[in-house]
DNA sequence: AATCCACAGGAAGTGCTGGGCG
DNA sequence: CGCCCAGCACTTCCTGTGGATT
């Protein structure tokens, strides 16, 4: 658009005024100090320490909401342990969201032992077998971290875990310890009782960070990531306060800080201000809702479009019936088979649950009992979310005009 | 007090999809 | 490979209901 492509690239070639090292704010960076997690670090270290003496550590189960430092602590302790252990202890970290099948998890573990496993073609039990023999050949303690373990269980059940918790019976010279990480407490209900008790030999709980604690975390990262004095003093407290409201999510706090700084940089400002943070917050929120809208099924989009158009026409007190008629009209124009009003009624509830619209049941006396609906999202994010496959949006407005 | 509107929302059934299993 | 089954989106049919109007 305006400016040139050269200018865009140029900006990254010249030294940044704001950032010293932007990467330090990215979610997967593990710093050298983890403020307010010393207790968890010590606990985990105590549990894993026996590995240094050649004894099998207990299995550990770690819970905590998103952004409470579970992954960071696990990686941190592992790193330290590895430094001490040299090659006497084997480590493997697997993210079960990316590797959500039993095959891939075990293949990943085997790979970390240097055993190549084709990404497909073998039976799962063959992969298990190869992993066991390659581990036993090494004659070492192996510590395995399964991050986001709930994804694995939800997708593939708990037989891998069953296998991994009992694999020591098949090993003669090696031992395996498991560290399971999750933010979903309820998922243990789906676990086999034996797996559950074995995995839960030790349990660590990560409480949400308070606003104060988040501030410390941000300050520490900011010192690494930013040039001196580029943050206005109220920036960090604001990021911390916003994130503290969202379950003390450190990832969100860091993301806010990063986005705010990006905005400042883009503007060519020399300082990051509280206002940049507020813009960043809006952007993050918008991105979430835009994403939700973008991934909705067709009829949800059509219903949303109906509400959107009605509001744009200035309609007041929009009811289910009014929406349904508009929806029928839109469907007809686009040549799409409409669903029934009963279904649309449910769709309206689902949109309400998603926080995109606001629907509330009211009785209009003689004029029936219905729902009154209004948008509860900015018009902009709705337009943006619908844009993609509702190229029709523009076309429609022309038709309905 | 009775009526009646414009739906809400429950129950049961249909048709489709995709994964697991022999 | 076909078969079965679960889960889902949706339909059909239905009974229920708060309160303005009669």
pLDDT at A25: 92
pLDDT band for position A282 (cuts 50, 70, 90): very high
pLDDT band for position A399 (cuts 50, 70, 90): low
Has residue A9 got a pLDDT over 60? yes
pLDDT band for position A240 (cuts 50, 70, 90): very high
Protein CA A158 to sugar C1' B3 (Å): 59
pLDDT band for position A238 (cuts 50, 70, 90): very high
Higher pLDDT, A157 or A86: A86
Higher pLDDT, A245 or A183: A245
pLDDT tens digits, one per residue of A302-319: 999 999 999 999 888 999
- Mean pLDDT of the residues in chain A: 87
Rg value, chain A, Cα: 27
Q: What average pLDDT score do residues A287-292 get? A: 89
pLDDT at A394: 58
pLDDT at A398: 57
pLDDT tens digits, one per residue of A126-143: 888 888 888 888 888 999
Q: What average pLDDT score do residues A217-235 get? A: 91
Nearest residue (CA) to C1' of B6: A368
pLDDT band for position A114 (cuts 50, 70, 90): confident
pLDDT at A77: 95
Those nucleotides of strand B lying less than 7 Å from any protein Cβ are 3-11, 20
Rounded CA gap, A221 and A223, in Å? 5
Structural element, H or E, at residue A358: strand A357-363
Length reported for chain A: 401
Dihedral (C-alpha) A325, A327, A331, A333: value to the nearest 10 degrees? 70
Tokens of A91: 């480590």
Protein CA A328 to sugar C1' C18 (Å): 28
Tokens of A206: 């990560």
Name the nucleotide nearest A343; use CA and C1': C10
pLDDT at A391: 61
The pTM of the whole model exceeds 0.75: no
Tokens of A336: 């799409």
Residues A345-369 as b/e (b if ≥16 CB within 10 A, e otherwise) read: bebbeebbebebbebeeeeeeeeee
Name the nucleotide nearest A344; use CA and C1': C10
Protein CA A191 to sugar C1' B7 (Å): 44
pLDDT at A14: 66
Higher pLDDT, A352 or A196: A352
Has residue A151 got a pLDDT over 90? no
CA angle A338, A340, A344 (to 5 degrees): 90
Q: Which of residues 297-316 of A touch strand C (CB under 7 A)?
A: 297-299
A361 CB less than 7 Å from any atom of strand C? no
pLDDT band for position A157 (cuts 50, 70, 90): low
Has residue A185 got a pLDDT over 60? yes
Protein CA A117 to sugar C1' C3 (Å): 32
Helix orientation angle between A298-312 and A320-334, rounded to the nearest 10 degrees: 110
Q: What average pLDDT score do residues A265-272 get? A: 88
Domains and CATH numbers, chain A: 38-206 (3.40.50.300), 213-292 (1.10.8.60), 296-399 (1.10.10.10)
Rounded CA gap, A168 and A157, in Å? 20
pLDDT band for position A68 (cuts 50, 70, 90): very high
pLDDT tens digits, one per residue of A349-366: 999 999 999 999 999 999
| Percent of chain A surpassing pLDDT 70 | 91
């Amino acid at each position: 658009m305006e400016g040139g492509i050269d200018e865009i690239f140029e900006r990254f070639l010249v030294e940044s005024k704001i950032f010293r090292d932007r990467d330090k704010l990215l979610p997967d960076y593990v710093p050298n100090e983890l403020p307010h997690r010393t207790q968890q670090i010590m606990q985990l270290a105590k549990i894993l320490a026996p590995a240094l003496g050649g004894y099998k550590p207990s299995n550990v189960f770690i819970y905590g909401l998103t952004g409470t430092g579970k992954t960071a602590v696990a990686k941190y302790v592992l790193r330290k342990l590895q430094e001490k252990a040299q090659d006497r202890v084997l480590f493997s970290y697997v993210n079960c969201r990316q590797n959500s099948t039993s095959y891939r998890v075990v293949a990943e573990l085997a790979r970390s032992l240097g055993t190549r496993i084709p990404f497909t073609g073998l039976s799962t039990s063959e992969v298990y077998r190869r992993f066991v023999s390659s581990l036993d050949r090494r004659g070492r303690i192996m510590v395995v971290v399964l991050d986001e373990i709930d994804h694995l269980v939800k997708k593939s059940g708990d037989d891998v875990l069953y296998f991994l918790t009992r694999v020591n019976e098949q090993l003669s010279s090696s031992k395996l310890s498991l560290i399971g990480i999750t933010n979903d407490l309820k998922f243990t209900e789906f676990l086999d009782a034996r797996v559950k008790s074995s995995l839960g030999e030790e349990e660590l709980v990560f409480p949400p960070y308070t606003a104060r604690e988040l501030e410390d975390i941000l300050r520490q990262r900011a010192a690494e990531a930013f040039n001196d004095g580029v943050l206005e003093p109220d920036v960090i407290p604001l990021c911390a306060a916003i994130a503290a409201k969202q379950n003390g999510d450190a990832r969100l706090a860091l993301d806010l800080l990063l986005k705010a700084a990006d905005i400042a940089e883009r503007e060519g400002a020399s300082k990051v201000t509280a206002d940049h943070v507020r813009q960043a917050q809006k952007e993050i929120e918008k991105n979430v809702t835009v994403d939700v809208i973008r991934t909705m099924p067709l009829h949800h989009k059509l219903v949303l479009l109906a509400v959107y158009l009605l509001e744009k026409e200035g309609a007041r007190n929009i009811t289910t019936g009014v929406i349904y008629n508009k929806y029928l009209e839109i469907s007809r124009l686009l040549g799409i088979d409409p669903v029934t009003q009963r279904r649309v009624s449910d769709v309206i509830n689902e949109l309400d649950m998603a926080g995109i619209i606001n629907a509330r049941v009211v009785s209009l006396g003689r004029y029936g009992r219905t729902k009154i609906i209004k948008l509860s999202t900015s018009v902009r994010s709705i337009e943006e979310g619908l844009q993609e496959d509702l190229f029709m949006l523009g076309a429609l407005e022309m038709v309905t005009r």
